Amino acid sequence: MNLQGIFVAGLAALVGAAAVGSDAQTAGVGDAVRALRPVEPVVVELFTAQGCSGCTEANRMVEALAEAPGVIALTWSVDYWDYLGWQDTFARPEFGQRQRAYQSALRLRGVYTPQVVIDGRRQVSGSDAEAVQGAIVEEAARRVFPPEIQFRESGDAVGIGSGAVPAGGADVWAVTYRPGRQDVSVSDGDNRGQVVSAVNVVRSLTRLGPWRGQPILLTLPAATDTDDRTVVLVQGRSDRRILTAAVL
């Protein structure tokens, strides 16, 4: 079996047993991506909500992907389902704005959950395991020769190297997230009585500045919690393609 087949088989097995949520599933997907050995990291963004009854399976799938080498998984909680009776405890207005920016760039009719965006280049339903696995495989095999990202040893600044700038320009973003899994007991709405889990939940999004293709050093936002981590994204301003990413 080739490397793509290994990954597809591993992720398909994960989704088929998603309700179990065992450690074996996570290990299987991790082994598959390790075998694939992507040259550049693949950024997997899940847009979800605690009040979304159809999101729990997608949340588990992304949780399994989060520990796989070569994958940077981020969970963005949105607030537009709050009217159903449960106010999402992780959601912030700017997270929904980020999803709507993808809606415009990818020419979609609307936003929805669970939605998975891969490298800012494509989107698939988080309920469609086959589409998710296929998109990750293709992005992992892509060579884009992105600008290099280097963090200052003190952790207070990040350097972006030179490279080709997409049409419309590019920006550097710092995404602060809480690594690992978080569980929330939902007491109202469509998921009433359930414990909803999410992994690598985003806490803040900060634009550090523009990237114009030349080396630049940018200051990182000060950490407010020692348990949080930061991923830096270099992203097209118009087409929303993620050129490169790295975790501090």
The phi, psi pair for 28, rounded to 5°, reads -65, -45
**Per-residue tokens: 29:** 């997907």
- CA 210 – CA 228 distance, rounded (Å): 24
Question: Mean pLDDT by 10-residue block, N- to C-terminus, for the chain (248 residues)?
Answer: 39 41 42 58 96 93 88 97 95 97 96 96 91 88 86 94 94 97 94 94 97 96 89 96 95
Per-residue confidence (pLDDT) for residue 36, from 0 to 100: 56
- CA 111 – CA 96 distance, rounded (Å): 9
Report in angstroms the alpha-carbon separations of 241 from 135, 160, 169, 203, 235: 14, 16, 11, 22, 6
- CA 46 – CA 56 distance, rounded (Å): 11
Within its chain, how far is the Cα of 90 from the centroid? 15
- For each of the domains in the chain, give its residue range(s) and CATH number, in order of start: 3-247 (3.40.30.10)
